[in-house]
Structure 1
């Protein structure tokens, strides 16, 4: 009897063991299947090109760069901007990123964005390498961290803002004109005015930079670490929120201290940093359904603390937060499936929560395995929503996918010359890769530049999105575009959108008199530029004057009412063709507002004894009247009154001269104008004339003299500042 019981007991135990093993195997298989299900292609059976959107989302940061940009910058509509930053305090604080669609530079959200991008590289470096985007994203992060280093001139000082709301938001101008139209005041925190929030955040960004730059630039990584340690010590020693007025008032500073401390621990393995992170951010203080963002990095800090310690309390709090983002977890879901936290940057929060969910579900050493499939599925759904899996069937990334936004709230991409959101009615540039704010809680959205709630773009909006895209690329691939971007991709299709031009009108004509109004226009946007050496030329045919026995002196040219012009002329162009110049040198023209983008001058032409007529003048073609003062229209624009910058033709057509049997600028007569010709011209000007060169072609300006002006014209042509040379 007892033997039978023992046998039965053994069978029972064996059965239980088999059931337990089977249960474990089923759980593992279920988890794997759930992950595979979550990793299926988006609705419709095809993948998005995650490589392309990753590439473009990184490029967005180049559109917001401030400082000294290369002459051959990848974005032809961007140029040097905010070059006076720091001059008011005797420092060079140029560089960094403009925060959003405006032109203010904030260290706090910028350091969050740079740190978040760095975190993405830290987690998914291989994805960036495989996609060919590693150098680009490291370059962007360095652009920001270089600024943080400049902004930290001594251990207990950090500059946290350049420019301010009242001045910056009073205009709607391209970034290139900030120095001319706004006050770039510098603001700092120090021992007497602490800012543990902004300093702690900057310390974290630099600590992360020290990690990700170590393989490629160990010296720079060491510099970043030195500043990170000093900034953290400053933030920890002089505790307090930045009390000064800013568009980014911080809710707390303890999260920033914890964020800086945990990354310093990861870099240095100094346990005191880990102890500090845990002491300022105890697990019990965490909770809520918010997520990682510039003003609250406690969620990211807790996640990293949990990963490095495997502490059960921190693990529980990380998952408690992620659980709130799951369907039914407490957060609002739009009918189309977006986890919607706030009207301000709804996609920013969802994509960053997705990044945290990806990082957590990827870690098989900590957390609850049965939950990770759901976290993973949530993350994919949020990124795909932003790319097109939504009721609109459209992308929320500028320049990517179907029905993408075309009117983001971004001053430089818009390119207004009147400081107005409505002028022009279209965007002159494509702000590739920018993630707009996103829809309302019912999935509604309108592509409207004036609705900055739904269409604002910002460096912090894209930050978490880039990291989540790297993970999507890592799973599904996708090909970044080759030989991209191309300059023509950025030009508006409107044929009439000329940057520099002259409008001309006839005010009065009769009895040997012609009264004209000239209007010089600067609507530049490739890039926007201030010009103070613009001029226009009116070309006249004096054949009738000479045939009647009169002289050049019998033609009287006088300057009437004007806005800063001078009058020069008449000067012979060729044969009986002469011109006079309406010169605005010394007057600033810039695409900033109506009064600044255009300047007028009235000129009177009188013929002695009624000896001449203007009807056969080259520049008389197409002239009409009366004047049209609308700064939006192009009425009166005439290419026959060319516009010049310091004597170099910018736009318009000069009268034809006799066709030469050579090409101006092609000094070595090889059929092309290139850097070899530029080098030859330099030798000629230095008195070392090479053999077998065409000296006529070296007279680039075709004015009979080879000098520095020819050098400048050829340089402008090669840099594509001007589109043609004299013919």
Structure 2
């Protein structure tokens, strides 16, 4: 009996183990199948991502592309005023608006599409923006664009459609802040002789939508937008024709844009003439499937609104014919991972914008075919979730959001090159939060490569439909936007040591009481990128051995050799036996734009009359100097903090010798020991732009506020005439 029990037990264990193995295999197979299904079918019907956070970031992207006069406390620490000369060639102020993409050109047509699309999202899903706390942010971005459209429309039959142009802008790879210095910001205009009904119709639509969404918060501005929308639409309708752009944004036609402008003017005004106009320029016979709403073809959006407003069967069928083409059983190509793929250029912008149309349509029970409602809805969710991570690479396509997100978008300012090269540096100095990159190829393949502008381009029109789809996802599934975000450090790439201004130095020659030193002043600024034309460096010397030998300053000579726009300012006392000379590049522009512009060189010879007495080895600035020079503008070789950099006489980078600040008297600009009329005359010259070589700029900053200006002039004058009895010490 014992033996039988033992055998039975062994059989039970064997059967149990076998069952467990089978179960394990089944679970593994199930997981594999699920994973395969997930790769082929992005998820729907649930909250899989933080839609509040990604919407917050997708809106923030627009701030990265702003041009014009930005606030001093701008939320993006790597951005500053840019393209401030726009319109000057036409005698106008055309500053503002958005740079189109990773470049710096400003196009009214795609910008108006993007602003109109964002406005449409607010029109449809305002509650989502309000509940997520994003309504003020998105309205602010839309207004930044519509303010530009108003500027671009200085009279009823004039509309500017571009600032900057391809040949000039695309010849450099520089941050937006340097566009005025390195590119031609020529402006281009539409008028009765140069028509552009496509640009006019799209711009009229954007302004009409703005007039609708600003009714609640700023009725006066809403009315202003409406006035311009009406005039621009009338201009585009009167002088019909395509805009003259033949590259970058060549228009495919203008009837769709006129329909788009007319339908929104009808929604705003209830003037039936606009509805009649929309129907006449967009008959149902010209509508088809296979594409979607985008900057160059807004017929799909216009047809959708016409169908909702008129309930005419022709428009309803046209809308559903288009949406049907985007379904898995339609005519659009699907990637193996489940992306509805239309084009290699911005595949994700098309899919997420088609998703927005599907959301809006399926939300409307009065027009959407009941049996198709869920199908359209599921399609829209799947495309958004694909972009956020439901794809074969298990990665987000939104910079700064989710897992395995892009780090190398094709965007000049986020990259932050100081040599105008895509390869320098080999990482991005800033995180371009919220930017939707172009997206994968038809086989789901994608590479995070700044040079691949087809797959990694970002643009204002790319994000526009995406934001609307995210608002709907938030409306359904929620998600918390980040609190107290962003902070300045959020935008710093971890690889960057934040060294923006510095000096590199090398010993060229040394011997027989003489030392030749090469100074290389660098501007690799990126927080924000800034042109500087008042930079200088100082070399600090310890002359103790000279004075102890009974010698004086006349026994050492400092001479300037080969240089790129430098001046030499002779020895000045710093403290005790420590003196310094200045290599001053004031008047020479340094900017992070090209090799030749981001760095400037100067050689200086230090020579002692008695070679046995003079020595540089105890000089503060001699420390770490080596040779020979390294001319690689991508490296930090030779960097020495002991040769400090100054901006207009104020320490910008580096370390001064211990012992306090340089000895000078405020107001004693010529360092002669007194404050008198000579100093007053020097200050006047400085303010007129004629800075003398012997001017102590720190002393010229009489009120010590960091700037030499008319206030210092007034204070010094008051002191000299006796109105005040003292100056800052």
TM bucket, shorter chain: 0.7 to 0.9
Residue of structure 1 equivalent to 2:213: 212
Residue of structure 1 equivalent to 2:83: 82
Deviations 1:624-681 (A, max 9, x none): 0000000000000000000011111111001111599xxxxxxxxxxxxxxxxxxxxx
Deviation of the 1:242 alpha carbon = 1.2
Deviation of the 1:709 alpha carbon = 4.0
The more displaced of 544-553 and 298-307 is: 544-553
Structure 2 CA distance for partners of 1:205 and 1:47, relative to 1, 3 Å: same
Structure 2 CA distance for partners of 1:99 and 1:706, relative to 1, 3 Å: closer
Distance in 2 (alpha carbons) for counterparts of 1:262 and 1:464 = 19
Residue of structure 2 equivalent to 1:314: 315
Deviations 1:103-124 (A, max 9, x none): 0000000000000000000000
CA contact (8 A) 1:103 1:163 kept: yes
Within 5 Å, give how 1:531-680 maps onto structure 2: 531-610=532-611, 611-657=613-659
Q: Secondary structure at the match of 2:502?
A: strand
Residue of structure 2 equivalent to 1:717: none
Residue of structure 1 equivalent to 2:21: none
Asked if residue 202 in structure 1 is aligned to residue 203 in structure 2, the reply is yes
How many residue pairs get aligned? The number is 636
Deviation of the 1:493 alpha carbon = 2.2
Distance in 2 (alpha carbons) for counterparts of 1:274 and 1:492 = 51
Distance in 2 (alpha carbons) for counterparts of 1:125 and 1:600 = 56
Distance in 2 (alpha carbons) for counterparts of 1:499 and 1:621 = 21
CA contact (8 A) 1:558 1:603 kept: yes
Distance in 2 (alpha carbons) for counterparts of 1:704 and 1:629 = 35
Q: Secondary structure at the match of 2:77?
A: coil
CA contact (8 A) 1:43 1:389 kept: no
Deviations 1:368-418 (A, max 9, x none): 011010000000000000000000000000000000000000000000000
Residue of structure 2 equivalent to 1:426: 427
The more displaced of 651-660 and 342-351 is: 651-660
The more displaced of 535-544 and 649-658 is: 649-658
Residue of structure 2 equivalent to 1:354: 355
CA contact (8 A) 2:46 2:477 kept: no
Deviations 1:446-467 (A, max 9, x none): 0000000000000000000000
Distance in 2 (alpha carbons) for counterparts of 1:659 and 1:621 = 20
Asked if residue 712 in structure 1 is aligned to residue 707 in structure 2, the reply is yes
Residue of structure 1 equivalent to 2:500: 499
CA contact (8 A) 1:345 1:453 kept: yes
Q: Secondary structure at the match of 1:712?
A: coil
Deviation beyond 4 Å, 4+ runs, structure 1: 43-46, 701-706
CA contact (8 A) 1:41 1:47 kept: no
Deviation of the 1:708 alpha carbon = 3.5
The more displaced of 609-618 and 254-263 is: 609-618
Deviation of the 1:52 alpha carbon = 0.4
CA contact (8 A) 1:60 1:431 kept: yes
Deviation of the 1:43 alpha carbon = 7.3
Q: Secondary structure at the match of 1:609?
A: coil
Distance in 1 (alpha carbons) for counterparts of 2:653 and 2:212 = 50
Structure 2 CA distance for partners of 1:336 and 1:100, relative to 1, 3 Å: same
Residue of structure 2 equivalent to 1:125: 126
Structure 2 CA distance for partners of 1:586 and 1:705, relative to 1, 3 Å: closer
Distance in 2 (alpha carbons) for counterparts of 1:410 and 1:466 = 19
Deviations 1:12-62 (A, max 9, x none): xxxxxxxxxxxxxxxxxxxxxxxxxxxx99479762000000000000000
Deviation of the 1:244 alpha carbon = 4.1
Distance in 1 (alpha carbons) for counterparts of 2:586 and 2:697 = 22
Structure 2 CA distance for partners of 1:97 and 1:572, relative to 1, 3 Å: same
Deviation of the 1:288 alpha carbon = 2.2
CA contact (8 A) 1:83 1:179 kept: yes
Distance in 2 (alpha carbons) for counterparts of 1:454 and 1:409 = 9
Distance in 1 (alpha carbons) for counterparts of 2:545 and 2:412 = 51
Q: Secondary structure at the match of 2:516?
A: strand
Deviations 1:275-305 (A, max 9, x none): 1000100112100210000000000000000
Distance in 2 (alpha carbons) for counterparts of 1:302 and 1:396 = 30
CA contact (8 A) 1:517 1:600 kept: yes
Within 5 Å, give how 1:41-60 maps onto structure 2: 42=43, 47-60=48-61
CA contact (8 A) 1:206 1:225 kept: yes
Structure 2 CA distance for partners of 1:702 and 1:632, relative to 1, 3 Å: closer
Within 5 Å, give how 1:225-624 maps onto structure 2: 225-494=226-495, 496-610=497-611, 611-624=613-626
Structure 2 CA distance for partners of 1:364 and 1:628, relative to 1, 3 Å: same
Deviations 1:60-91 (A, max 9, x none): 00000000001110000001100000000100
Q: Secondary structure at the match of 1:503?
A: strand
Deviation of the 1:367 alpha carbon = 2.0
Deviations 1:470-504 (A, max 9, x none): 00011111111111111111123235441000000
Deviations 1:568-606 (A, max 9, x none): 020001111100000000111111110000000000001
Deviation of the 1:553 alpha carbon = 1.7
Residue of structure 2 equivalent to 1:12: none
Q: Secondary structure at the match of 1:61?
A: helix
Q: Secondary structure at the match of 1:390?
A: coil
> What residue ranges of structure 1 are gaps of 5+ in the alignment?
1-39, 661-700, 715-727
CA contact (8 A) 1:496 1:634 kept: no
Residue of structure 1 equivalent to 2:112: 111
CA contact (8 A) 2:42 2:390 kept: no
* CA RMSD after TM alignment: 1.9
Deviation of the 1:174 alpha carbon = 0.3
CA contact (8 A) 2:198 2:257 kept: yes
The more displaced of 483-492 and 447-456 is: 483-492
Deviation of the 1:612 alpha carbon = 1.6
Distance in 2 (alpha carbons) for counterparts of 1:655 and 1:42 = 63
Q: TM-score, normalised by structure 1?
A: 0.86
Q: Secondary structure at the match of 2:610?
A: helix
Deviation of the 1:366 alpha carbon = 1.4
Within 5 Å, give how 1:173-192 maps onto structure 2: 173-192=174-193
Distance in 1 (alpha carbons) for counterparts of 2:635 and 2:274 = 62
Distance in 1 (alpha carbons) for counterparts of 2:661 and 2:249 = 62
Structure 2 CA distance for partners of 1:703 and 1:535, relative to 1, 3 Å: closer
The more displaced of 488-497 and 535-544 is: 488-497
Deviation of the 1:544 alpha carbon = 0.7
